[in-house]
């Protein structure tokens, strides 16, 4: 069984944010894509930032 460490979870979170940014760009949501790219870049210093921004953007779209 593979060991799951904080570093591997952190890496998956960053990759997930980058994938969300790519999907946002593909759907024509340029501002969301830029925001997600920034969050992915900063998530190395602030763990969980990318996930928080992604959740915030999804909630904001649902509430419109």
Concatenating the DSSP letter of every residue in 1-64 gives -----HHHHHHHHHHHHHHHHHHHHHTT-HHHHHHHHHHHHHTTTSTTHHHHHHHHHHHHHHH-
Single pTM value for the model: 0.82
Domain extent at residue 59: 7-63
In a domain, 1, yes or no: no
pLDDT of residue 28: 96
pLDDT of residue 6: 61
Reported as a single tens digit per residue, the pLDDT across 11-38 is 778 888 999 999 999 999 999 999 999 9
Look at the chain and report how many structural domains it folds into.
1
| Res. 10 pLDDT band, cuts 50 70 90 | low
Backbone angles phi, psi at 4, to 5 degrees: -105, 120
In a domain, 2, yes or no: no
Reported as a single tens digit per residue, the pLDDT across 39-61 is 999 988 888 898 899 999 999 99
């Amino acid at each position: 069984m593979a060991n799951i460490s904080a570093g591997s979870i952190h890496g998956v979170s960053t990759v997930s944010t980058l994938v969300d940014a790519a999907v946002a760009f593909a759907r024509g949501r340029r501002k969301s894509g830029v925001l997600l790219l920034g969050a992915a870049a900063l998530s190395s210093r602030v763990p969980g930032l990318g996930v928080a921004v992604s959740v915030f953007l999804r909630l904001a779209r649902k509430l419109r």
